[in-house]
Amino acid sequence: MPELPEVEIVRRGLQRHVTGRTVDTVQLLHPRAVRRHLPGPDDFAAAISGRTITGARRRGKYLWLPVGDDAVLAHLGMSGQLLVGDPARPLSSHVRARFTFRDGGPDLRFTDQRTFGHLAIAPGGAELPAAISHIAPDPLEPGFDLTALTARLRARRTGIKRALLDQSLVSGIGNIYADEALWHSRLHWARPSETLTRGQITRLFAAVEQVFTDALDAGGTSFDSLYVDVNGQSGYFERSLAVYGRAGQPCRRCGTPVRRDPFMNRSSYSCPTCQPRPRRARW
Ligand SMILES: [Zn+2]
């Protein structure tokens, strides 16, 4: 599942390739792609045709394209891709929606093999769509408030990794980057959040920011070959992962084999030496 860096790379591509362009037609090839748009596919197409995209924005793993006061809101789900290319190229069977532009240039295609992603129109949502206003700012947003978040974390009674994944506390962090940031800051994933010092939380979020920045520089992590940028290119950050997906391989800091624990139907990867299990654990 794409996390913040992968979605940010898609946002940058959209910013470069569709900003300032006027939509000509919208073809919806699979109604599931707009299932969250209750007035239906025809309404979706009619509402966007003829409108000019004025930017590309993101909060956490959501993207939106402002059109006037409204916006087209997108979530890539497990396998969604937003691809820009020659409008004459063949239409693959996974294309769910296609936007053409009045300038006759590259079109925009939403493809989604597993159909967990979706598109919707957010009326009045150019600044921040109402459907995602409950999602907390992500660590790369100017509105991210580490002091307020620190107070909330220290008031919670939960494990730190579960808190990192809670999109109402902080958005955009998923399983991969949570494990990486915890390893960088030498914290075990089950550490009770109320026992963390302010300094530890500050170092943890500095690590989150660093891991995100490094992943952006590498074009993101291509964990399952479905994540690509708007030009269909995949990133190579998985080569730099310290613990995620490396069970049994040596810790890049101390050489101890990386440990994998079951966690919320998934896994947590950590180093038993650098990240000792806390006496009291919460998950
Ligand atoms: Zn280690």
Residues 90-115: what's their mean pLDDT?
Answer: 92
pLDDT higher than 70, residue 73:
yes
pLDDT averaged over every residue in the chain: 92
Strand partners, 108: 84, 99
Ligand 1 ion: residues within 5 Å (CB):
251, 253-254, 256, 271, 273-274
- Give the pLDDT confidence score for residue 105 in this predicted structure: 97
Q: What's phi and psi for 100, nearest 5 deg?
A: -105, 165
pLDDT digits 0-9 by tens, 221-247: 876 666 678 888 888 888 889 999 999
Q: What band does 77 get if pLDDT is binned at 50, 70 and 90?
A: confident
Measured in Å, residue 244 CA sits from the centre of ligand 1 at 13
The DSSP output letter for 60 is: T
> Residue 220: which residues within 8 A CB-CB, separation 6 or more?
2, 5, 6, 9, 227, 229, 234, 235, 237
Residues 49-53: what's their mean pLDDT?
Answer: 97
The catalytic residue positions are 2-3, 61, 266
Measured in Å, residue 152 CA sits from the centre of ligand 1 at 29
Residues 99-105: what's their mean pLDDT?
Answer: 98
Among 72, 69, 68, smallest CA distance to 11 is for: 72
pLDDT digits 0-9 by tens, 14-47: 999 999 999 999 999 988 888 888 888 999 999 9
